[in-house]
A and B are shown apart, each in its own frame.
Chain A
Amino acid sequence: MPRPDHDQETGIPDLTSLSLEELAELDDSVVANVIRVIAERRGGRGGYREAFSDFQSAT
């Protein structure tokens, strides 16, 4: 059985039209969650999975 694509709901938000000023105001939890998802998709290989579990706990 295939594994579900549950993380479609937590993909990368479209930040292309957000200014850097607005980027700095993003909610910490949004930033941490997106980075955690990206890191998990790397499967911990050459990524920052552990790194961002730390960051997330800091938030």
Chain B
Amino acid sequence: MRGAVLKEATHRLGHDDLRLLVAGELGSSTATVELLRAAELSKHRILLAGLMRAAARSQQDEYPALEAAYLLLADVEACNVRAVRDVVAAPQFGSWAARCLTRLTEPGEAARADVPLWVDLGRLAVVAVVAAVRAGHRFALDIPLRHGEATFPGTGVARPGGGEAWEWGQARSADWGWEVSSPHGCVRLPPPGQDSGQPSSGWSPMPRIDVGPMGLRLGVSLDDRDPDLDCFGTARVTVTAEELVRWRATVADAWRILVRHHLSSAWVTSRVVRALVPLDEPVPGRSVSVTAAGAFGAIAMSLPADPLAMAEVFVHETQHGVLSAVNDLIALTGPGDERLTYAPWRDDPRPVGALLQGAFAHYGMARFWRQRQQLGRASQRIGASVEFARWRELTADAIGALHESGVLTEAGLTIVAAMRETLTAWQRERVPTVASERARDISLGHRIRWRLRHLAPDPAAIEALASAWLARARPGTEPAVALSAITAMIRVRPLAAIGPQPSVLGYLHRDRAGYATAASGYLRALAVAMDVDAWTGLAIARQHTGPAGIARILANWPEVVAGMHDCLRGQAEPPDPDALAAWLESLADHGHLAATAR
């Protein structure tokens, strides 16, 4: 029995390893990152073993082709271990294996798929071909074609042509290198390194970007076409020749920034990231980046606005990749982690379990911006301080929520405790007042808007408060109600329904007079209609103009004030938002409100 032997050779991640990983110092976390890479390779191999068994048991007609591909991979491995290791460790492979396994074992998944199962399973053949070509191994293998094309992971797209949407073609080694054929045509290709990077009518090479000094190089494919990387839940884009120039330049400059000023992050990124997947911008001017737990080593992103933004994406998304790999080895959260809560970096409610992922990524961002506070022009340094102040506070808040959530395992708590220790030290570091105030306002604006959009106050409690407001001339009629109980329910609204959040920067002003003028405008807007942005702006303005009690209620319970305001809108004399907030604050002063101000 191999089982007993394997148990002795399990990838083990101790709590000291987790603490070193959080510390993120170059050197101390090196062994842990290598362990995670090895564990992800083992995961891909066990998924392959699982899907081969599942395919054999399900008696699929496709099994012989799958087996032929496996045998070629095994043959190549016998003479070139690295060639096979590289293709199996690739993010494309992890994504493909997980998807095929799901299709083979979950009938509902198979029915939903828009690609025939034999085409999906047949992808192992193109993986085997890539390994064989790189190893210089002789081969001849049937491969699936989609609309007359075959995408070879990390290598390129061959177009021998086809007569149907899905059909078999063939790839084989040849004296001149290798060729891909179909009943309709043949594409001849040289061996690797001999002009195989040159495009032709039948061949589009996968762009590669290799940058950096010896010893700290970033080598990635810019993968805008492999179907196995359609796993990010958002639209991909094909990169034009002109855009490719911009991608290359931005990656090169971003890498220079990381190597020069963020050496530890650069090292981890260089060890983890193997593919960049270009995405469309969901909203013009608003970039997006994603990682998928099943595709370790791939980062999907729209082209960031500048190299610094791309450097930030590398740091952020690599943190996600690392924590996903940790989570494959040790459970970080347990039952109850699907409960929805506020995440300071998302417009929608998020599961508590996902909050840990976000906290780890934004912890990395806080470290990134902390290191940038002394770099560049004065405005850039202030900007870095704002980002540092913002993310250290928000990450600390999220960590506090996680700590109290009761869903963390011991390993999850170890990671959270290590982050908290560092964040506590960072919170003692001084940043310019203008930066800390701006960071506070940006964070507050996001949280207020989120509460207004996603917290549903209890209608009965709101009506009771409104009635008490109308009868406020009679002392003793105020309800004794805790605001926290009124706003317990989260309503999940699709992001498309609520639209993109405008920039919070629009709420910020130079001085107190500017905020006072802005507050008047927000009050006029609220007299006309319910307006989430006007409530947000008013709440931020009152942090600067006062009175403090009104500012506190608007910041912490905006959905209650807005709910009351809406409820009373039909009255002959429309209520004044400030007056409502002041009244709620007066109840708090009388001990009726459990205002848990942050």
Contacts and interface: CB of A to CB of B under 8 A. Distances in A.
B74 interface: yes
B427 interface: no
Contact of B38 (A14, A35, A47, A51): A14
Contacts, number: 147
Interface residues of B, number: 60
A52 B53 contact: no
A11 B12 contact: yes
A26 B46 CA distance: 10
B16 interface: no
A15 B50 contact: no
B412 A2 contact: yes
Contacts of A48: 98, 101-102, 105-106
A22 to B, nearest CB: 8
Contacts of B98: 47-48
A28 to B, nearest CB: 6
A58 B104 CA distance: 12
A34 to B, nearest CB: 5
A42 B216 CA distance: 32
B11 A11 contact: yes
Contacts of A16: 38, 41-42, 45, 85
B109 A29 contact: no
A13 B351 CA distance: 29
Contact of A50 (B38, B46, B106, B331): B106
Contacts of B109: 51
Interface in B303-351: 327-331, 333-334, 337-338, 351
Most buried by B among A8, A19, A32, A45: A8
A48 B41 CA distance: 18
Interface in B32-56: 38-39, 41-43, 45-50, 52-54
Given A3-B408, A11-B330, A43-B333, A30 B6 contact: yes
A12 B46 contact: yes
Contact of A20 (B74, B327, B337): B74
B53 A38 contact: no
B473 interface: no
Nearest to B406: A1
A54 B98 CA distance: 15
Nearest to A48: B102
A15 B45 contact: yes
Nearest to B48: A23
B132 interface: no
A21 to B, nearest CB: 5
A58 B43 CA distance: 21
A3 B334 contact: yes
B2 A51 contact: no
Contacts of B6: 13-15, 26, 30
B70 A54 contact: no
Q: Nearest 5 pairs between A and B by C-beta? A: A13-B6, A51-B105, A20-B74, A15-B42, A14-B9
Given A25-B2, A31-B53, A55-B105, 6 more contacts: A2-B409, A3-B409, A12-B10, A28-B53, A38-B43, A46-B293
Interface of B: 1-3, 6-7, 9-13, 38-39, 41-43, 45-50, 52-54, 57, 70, 73-74, 77-78, 84-85, 98, 101-102, 104-106, 109, 292-294, 327-331, 333-334, 337-338, 351, 353, 407-413
14 contacts: A3-B407, A11-B39, A13-B6, A15-B6, A16-B42, A27-B2, A40-B331, A41-B327, A42-B327, A43-B337, A47-B98, A48-B98, A58-B54, A59-B53
Interface of A: 2-5, 7-8, 11-16, 18-21, 23-32, 34-35, 38, 40-43, 45-48, 50-52, 54-55, 58-59
